[in-house]
Structure 1
Amino acid sequence: MKSALLPPTGYPEFLQELKTRIRGAQVRAALAVNRELILLYWSIGRDILLRQGMEGWGTRVIDRLAHDLQNEFPGVEGFGARSLKYMRALAEAWPEEAIVQQLIAQLPWGHNLRVLDRIKDRRTREWYLRAAFEHGWSQNVLVHMISSRLHEREGKALTNFEQTLPPPDSDMAEQILRDPYNFDFLTLADDFKERELERGLLIHLRDLLLELGRGFAFVGSQVPLPVGDQTFYLDLLFYHVRLHCYFVIELKTGEFKPEYAGKLNFYLSAVDGIMKSDRDDPTIGLLLCESHNEAIVELSFKNFQKPIGVSTYTVTREMPKALEQEVPSIEDLKGIVEKLRTELAAARKADQAEPEEGT
């Protein structure tokens, strides 16, 4: 029992070194709070790993270390056992100090924890951290993007950008588009119409802009395009502030059809002729369909001169009518709960009224 109470070899010196390091970091933190703290946490985690590896310290030493540090710095949060384990996990995930300096320490501690918790492989972790830094994502937005598996969807749309846009713009435009787009904030029936989809996206415009990604500015819906003696209407019109161009989005239910690409190509020509200024780059079009055949899509806009992309989208489906009849409604559930409460109250009353044995 006595040996269990004694600190392991080198522990007192290590504890004293940490106390000095923490005090020094607290002074510097006034100038660069987040960066200093992340670097401090990483260095503590790295040294815990080294000590455990070289001197055979067990996992229980973290609990002891947390207790001693909290005694030394009362009221200072961030040095509990759970936090120390996260520091060790951070150092294990990012052993190179260079990437910690360049990326990890540029983001808040909470962002790093969410990535450590939700993603296991290094390459994907780095992808989301770089995206969060570049786009200024909040912690909630970062979690949402991870949940929607954005890294698997970005840059996956079918496009002709390589043939219709100059190299720098084509690469950026390619990465901006996704496939599929996740409109899980919408709930639509199986046989929804295109106008219902459009109305739903406009009602949830903030969610739509988040899903489209950074740089999209909403211009309007059903935007009129007068051509000759006719007027055509664009489903959704955006302006992309990084690409410096108009962005036409056409919504379609069902599978992609070749004629959709021809109509969108016409719309892009009209926008370039009517709305585009000399300072704007060529207008880009995006067709959003429920499904598509890759070979048909590629042949459909093979010889077009206008930049067009085709992606799919997903929405939350309403419960089928046949299934609705099998599932209890809210009112039914309330009735069941009230019935159970009444029966439970009656049972308790009966138990209280029953005379005790021997009376």
Structure 2
Amino acid sequence: MVSSEIDLPADYAELLEALKTRISGARIHAQRTVNTLVIELYWSLGRDIIGRQAREGWGSGVIRRLAADLAASFPDMKGLSYRNLQYMTAMVRAWDATENVPQLVAHLPWGHIRTILDKAASAEEREWYAAAAVQYGWSRNVLLNMMMNHSMERTGTAPSNFSRQLAAPDSELAQQMAKDPYNFEFLGLSGDVAERDLENALMSRITETLRELGPGFAFVGRQVHFDVDGDDFYVDLLFFHIEQSRYVVIELKTGKFQPEFAGKLNFYVALVDDVLRRDHHNETIGILICGTKNDRSVRYSLGRSTSPMAVAAYTYDKLPPAEQQALPNEGHLVAALEWAEPDTGTIEGTD
């Protein structure tokens, strides 16, 4: 036990924090290095097996025997199963590189790679989800959730006037955050609900809400009050996007989009831009999330708006039949999570 009588130097607390930060950083670096080495090993095994299959016509029986013999030789390694050897060959075929593992793949934990191989339907999806998982440090469960909710297909699809109201680089970045539709299935709502009910549900599930909105969003407040010369106004939800350094006003409407909604959102964006925005911030943008919308009406409404805005729909229990069939039920989700459990000794630094 450390004695409390020790006369500690004045800067001891700062020194302790600095050393803790250094140790944590070294541990994370070591985890990433180990992970990269393991993925490189798996890549080389998969590449060699594919080569043997092509030259010598190896069948599944040979690979099963190989897995058994490798597991017997290295009993402390859990990643040499027949199933994992199949994933190793699938990884090499999917990313279609002959010699070295692609840099993006090398930075992914093995469980993430298997999830992408299982769920991605195209090379474009593999690249998009792999890049997003590395960039934002998604855990395997978050990655699985993003893929099951078709995040790639919805990202950047909401009708907006960003290209007219923002410079090209800002316009492209802002468009990326505007999904359509937003998937609020996690709220457990059904039937007709009021805006306040939807807002309350979103705030009670703020972690899931931020995850659905996308990386970079920080919550500022709900029903944020503004006094305009004695007139009271309340912004439904206010966020700040860290990476883009801009405020994001979100207005909620449970019914069908009406042109007057755009006028109100335009007013709120201008208000936040004037009152809260600082010189080093980028322009405030607005996103209106409504129950349903007519895209042509949206485009007319945004055409003359002076603020950068987008309009998106949301879903919770009103997905089209084809989309409902594509999404897994609870049993499928549990099975998928069990399937994605690590089958290797790899340290997954992002989990």
* TM-score, normalised via structure 1 length: 0.78
Shift of 1:98: 7.4
Query: What residue in structure 2 maps to residue 271 of structure 1?
Result: 272
TM-score between the two structures when normalised by the length of structure 2: 0.79
Counting only pairs closer than 5 Å after superposition, residues 239-318 of structure 1 correspond to structure 2 as 239-316=240-317
The structure with the largest alpha-carbon Rg is 1
How is 1:56-75 mapped onto 2 (pairs within 5 angstroms)? 56-75=57-76
Q: Which residue of 2 aligns with 1:224?
A: 225
For the 8 Å contact 1:186–1:316, the answer to whether it is kept is no
- The sequence identity of aligned pairs, in percent, is 48
> Shift in Å at residue 226 of structure 1?
0.8
- Quote how far apart the aligned CAs of 1:189 are: 3.8
Q: State the alpha-carbon separation in 2 of the partners of residues 223 and 235 from structure 1.
A: 7
Kindly report structure 1 stretches of 4+ aligned residues shifted beyond 3 Å: none
- The reply on whether 1:80 has 2:81 as its aligned counterpart is yes
Aligned mates of 2:31, 2:275 — CA distance in 1: 54
Alignment of 1:99-248 (within 5 A): 100-248=101-249
Say if 2:47 and 2:98, in contact at 8 Å, map to a contact too: no
Secondary structure of the corresponding residue to residue 104 of structure 1: helix
Q: Residues 46 and 95 of structure 1 are in contact (CA less than 8 Å); yes or no, is this contact kept in structure 2?
A: no
What is the aligned partner in structure 1 of residue 321 from structure 2?
A: none
Contact 1:155/1:174 (<8 A) preserved: yes
| Kept in 1: contact 2:195–2:254 (CA 8 A) | yes
Deviations 1:90-130 (A, max 9, x none): 11212215783311111000000011112232221111111
Q: Which amino acid aligns with 1:170?
A: S
Which residue does the alignment assign to 2:346?
A: none
Do the aligned partners of residues 222 and 308 (structure 1) sit closer, same or farther apart at CA in structure 2, a change above 3 Å counting? same
- Distance across 2 between alignment mates of 1:225 and 1:158: 28
The one-letter amino acid paired with 1:261 is A
Deviations 1:284-329 (A, max 9, x none): 1000011111111111121122100100001237xxxxxxxxxxxx
3-state SS in 2 of match to 1:63: helix
Aligned to 2:38: 37
When residues 95 and 191 of structure 1 are mapped into structure 2, their CA distance, relative to the original with a 3 A threshold, is closer
Distance 2:190 2:158 in 1: 25
Aligned length: 289
Does the 8 Å contact 1:182/1:315 carry over to 2? Answer: yes
Q: Is the 8 A contact 1:185 1:316 kept in 2?
A: no
- CA contact 2:247–2:285 (8 Å) conserved in 1: yes
Find the aligned partners of 2:121 and 2:159 in 1 and give their Cα distance.
29
1:280-359 maps to which residues of 2 (within 5 A)?
280-316=281-317
Structure 1: distance between partners of 2:152 and 2:190 = 29
Cα separation, partners in 2 of 1:111 and 1:85, compared to 1, 3 Å: same
Which residue pairs with 1:94 in the alignment? 95
- d(CA) in 2 for partners of 1:83 and 1:216? 36
- Asked if 2 retains the 8 angstrom alpha-carbon contact of 1:225 and 1:231, the reply is yes
Contact persistence 1:157–1:311 (CA under 8 A):
yes
Tell me which residue corresponds to 2:4.
none
Q: Is the 8 A contact 2:32 2:107 kept in 1?
A: no
Report 1 or 2 for greater relative contact order, CA contacts < 8 Å, sequence distance ≥ 6.
2
1:31/1:148 CA distance change after superposition, 3 Å: closer
Give me the whole-angstrom Cα distance separating, in 1, the residues matched to 2:316 and 2:57. 53
| TM-superposed deviation, 1:191 | 2.1
The residue that corresponds to 1:352 in the other structure is none
TM-superposed deviation, 1:37: 1.0
Cα deviations by residue, 1:147-196 (Å, 9 ceiling, x for unpaired): 00111100101110001111111100101110000011112242210000
| 1:6 matched residue in structure 2 | none
Q: Does the residue aligned with 1:71 lie in a helix, a strand or coil?
A: helix
CA distance in 2, matches of 1:151, 1:287: 20
| Further displaced range: 145-154 or 74-83 | 74-83
SS of 1:132 mapped into structure 2: helix
Superimposed CA distance per residue, residues 238-284 of structure 1 (whole angstroms, 9 cap, x where no aligned partner): 11111211111000011100000011111111112222222222211
String of CA shifts for 1:1-20, please: whole Å, max 9, x gaps. Answer: xxxxxxxxxxxxxxxxxxxx
One-letter amino acid of the counterpart of residue 316, structure 1:
D
What displacement does 1:30 show? Answer: 8.5
